[in-house]
Structure 1
Amino acid sequence: MTSIEALEAALPAMTRWRVPGGRDVDWAVLEAALGTALPSDFRALAEAYPVLVVDDFLVVSAPAPGAEASWGAACREDEILQDLYEMGDTEDYVPYPRPGGLISWAESNAGDAFYWRTGPTDPDAWPVVVRTDNAEWFEFPVGAVAFLAGVYGRTIDVPGMPGNFPGDDPRVLGLSD
């Protein structure tokens, strides 16, 4: 089972938003603007789905076809993370494009942020890092899609999240490009 299939099994409400034939994201443009390749599980998710909002709480980002350069540039210029770093509130994490820097791929409406910790290795080996709204940091040794499948399949627990996360029957909204 692929990580996308595992996520769809854990979060079946998302499947109604799958884009038949894919979304045709120009990964070369995005990765040139960002300065790095992205994990293959995320590329597969972004090709199959638009931005997803789960339970009006978690927003899973996806680049829009035609806006890849601006999506990549926005990831490089994460002002909130940069401010936290300058204030010394990121533990040992640093913003991208510094070596090992964080790139955001999701956020909650409560102020939680979900990142990849980049590295010199293959992007498919990048772990997920979560910064809770309580300024706690947690790292998980899985990719973004496997992380989401684990959270919604209830095999991954994220400390510091609201008590109702994840919901018992999560609703999913897909935001069109």
Structure 2
Amino acid sequence: MTDLIGTQTPTRRITGPEEAIAALERAVPGLADHRRSEPAVLDWALLEDGLGTRLPAGYKRLAERYPTFALGDFLLVSLPEPGEEHYRLRGIRDDLGGVIQSWWDADMSIGLRPHPAPGGLLPWGESNEGDKFLWRVTEENPQQWPVTIASRDLAWWHYEGGAVQFLAEYCNGTLEPWALPPVDPEVTPC
């Protein structure tokens, strides 16, 4: 049975992309070693048009600065690569039509449907153990989208901050990693 554990709210929600990335870089000291020498130019229009929604500025800025990376050999932060945005779009669509739709069909999604349904789930990361890290597309402003964690143990929870802030607080131990193991803030580019 799928359970909603609860909701965690940060002391202060970070909405500025630069501030969120700085918090992540403090929480994961080795991350800055993998920063691109120049920000990547990505075709955000292809991704956003293909998904039917804008994406959060923090995620976009993270992708412009960093390639896809893993944290602690556990959590994969999936980011588009220049010229390969269509592959990331296809991966997101596969998740939406595959596992996330399967959760809905099997009544295992705590009532949350895949995007583009109102309040739908949109994936941005996953663990090597089957956990999914998603946005809940709750409103027009993507900077306000909360994060939903779908644990492999069928325990779900919400975080009322953005994805980059979630990563920072997960790595620095500020939030309680309900149904997740603590993560080693070691970064590996993928």
The two structures have a TM-score, normalised by structure 1, of 0.92
Match of 2:149, SS state, is: strand
For residue 42 of structure 1, the aligned residue among 50, 55, 59 is 59
- Listed one character per residue, the Cα deviations across residues 55-97 of structure 1 (whole Å, up to 9, x for unaligned) are 1111001011112133224323321111111011001211111
Partner of 1:156: 175
* Unaligned stretches of 5+ residues in structure 1: none
Please list, as runs of the form range in 1=range in 2, the aligned pairs for 1:51-70 lying within 5 A after superposition.
Answer: 51-70=68-87
Asked if 1:26 corresponds to 2:43, the answer is: yes
Q: 1:172 is aligned with what amino acid?
A: V
Pick which of 13-22 and 67-76 moved more.
67-76
Q: Distance in 2 between matches of 1:77 and 1:32?
A: 16
Partner of 2:4: none
* Unaligned stretches of 5+ residues in structure 2: 1-17
Asked if 1:115 corresponds to 2:134, the answer is: yes
Identity level (%):
37
Cα 1:97/1:77, change in 2 over 3 Å: farther
Query: What's the C-alpha RMSD, in Å, of the aligned pairs?
Result: 1.2
For residue 10 of structure 1, the aligned residue among 18, 23, 27 is 27
Asked if 1:173 corresponds to 2:188, the answer is: yes
Equivalences, count: 171
The two structures have a TM-score, normalised by structure 2, of 0.86
Q: Distance in 1 between matches of 2:186 and 2:41?
A: 26
Q: Distance in 2 between matches of 1:114 and 1:64?
A: 19
Q: 2:141 is aligned with what amino acid?
A: D
